[in-house]
Structure 1
Amino acid sequence: MASQTNSDVTIIGLGLMGRALAGALLTAGHRVTVWNRTTAKAEELLARGALPADSATSAVNASPVTISCVSDYQSLQQAFAPVADELDGRLLVNLTSGDSAQARDMARWTERRGAHYLDGAVMAVPPTIGTAEAVILLSGSKTAFDSQRPVLDALGTATYVGADHGLSALYDVAGLSMMWGVLNSWLQGVALLATADIDASTYTPFAVRMAQGTVGWLAGYADQVDSGTYPPDDATLATHAGGMAHLVAESERLGVNAELPRLFRSLVDRAITAGQAEKSYPALLEQFGQESRTS
């Protein structure tokens, strides 16, 4: 085997995302070694010039950098357990989805074996990998991140979020919360307008304007959160509560599921009970720091 260079990369895990990652690295001119429990998934990549490995151990030994993207942390640990003695001095970039505790545990396991570790989250779908549209969040060693920028940048927009290995996972779930919040609220609106025979395509341009306008408030609201002061420059929580009551009542009257707006209202009602009626909407943050309650 030829000697390793900084352009050598190993990919472990060849699902849709793993194959996309390997393909982007090949396109960028890297020498890529691939391994997957199901060898058939490597065929297209081998035809493009990827090198096969017959085991996880030989795959890790082939490159100074190994990128893993498997189904879960249990699979990740199973793949790397036989390789534990081969990791010294290498970099493991883990793009397997999981939570922040799992990321920190994996970092400790890896670093005890003399390796460097970056935990990551892929905020993209496979067809966008290798383009600027694909955001790859990474946390852990800044030195390791900087030293492997050519590799990481080949995957998309590589974004370092901090030294805490759990940060990528936290950003990931926070981003998903934002995504599902927007999508579920849009669906609530679609259901409401459908009762008046307004289709989703007609409603959506208005929904987009509302979403974009709301996004414009976030920077100012973030300043309020960071300072711990909530001046009601636009509206008080009491005003929001009145609007939410209308949304709940209208949904119920029209036979549209009102669980989501009832949740909104319950959070605001609790904040008002806690004496925050005349504060701005971000004061609701305190409710997110409390255990959930059932009404």
Structure 2
Amino acid sequence: MAGVRSPRSRQYSPQNQADSSTSANEGEPFGDEAKFFTECRLLQRSVSVVLISLPTPQATSLTSQAQAQQSLVVSSFIGIVQHPAGSISALLLANGLARVVDWHAGFLSSVPEHQGGGMERLRKAEAEGKAARRGHWKSVAAPASDPSAANGSTGASAPGKMKFDGIVSRVWTGDTVSIRVNSASKSDGQEERKVQLSSIRQPRPTDPKFGGLASDARELLRRRLIGKQVHVSIDYVRPKEGDYEAKECVTIKLPTGINVANLLLERGYATVLRHRQGEDRSQDYDMLMATEMK
């Protein structure tokens, strides 16, 4: 089902039916509960199904090279199952028997809300399950209220002010800029903050096929941002690693409300990072995923 993943239930086979404790087929915590929950509500019931993705065809001699370059390979049908009484996906999430699958945001964005599309309702249902500490959330501390979590952000904290306005003074790369902001601690009353756009990656300059897009992305930001007032929201801080300094990863918006990361994705100058479960991400992550899928 699109947008959610339930824990794996115990699997039985002719070889281990007599011994249900076989470790090779042991299910995940709450997997059996999730399966039983769905069976009770959908088995032998009439439902409507909207297929939004088909399995990726097996590569042939003519298509193997093209498919090898695809960033997303789907091995099963992905769809929305709607019962007249409501969405089973949202019910699973609200009862702590499933988690939201972030990378399905692009698929769900193509389906109207009245047919079960969109991620917002799934995010709200998951937040409800977390707050009530149901299912697999029982052992997890109740999350602090954070509006950014509704879009896929974990709401991670960062030092200093979480939001600020400033003027873009320099473009380093297609995803990193410097912003001049007011600062009482500086003699001239201003300081530069070097920030990186959250949850996107620009092509590597050494990439033989897409490396040229890195300079195009930088030029786009230079034309659209240099000397312009922008609003910045800090999503998370990437810690220092080796010779790389700690980086503030942010969402930058123009006065018109345009998300700069989304602008790069629309032009094909960046890709969205596939974050692991619970990893910090952009406050507009679902929107970025939807744009990339277009």
Pairwise same-fold verdict (TM > 0.5) = no
Instruction: Give the structure, 1 or 2, with the largest relative contact order (CA under 8 Å, sep 6 or more).
Output: 2
Structure that is richer in strand per residue: 2
Give the TM-score normalised by the residue count of structure 2: 0.32
Give the TM-score normalised by the residue count of structure 1: 0.32
Structure that is richer in helix per residue: 1
Larger radius of gyration: 1
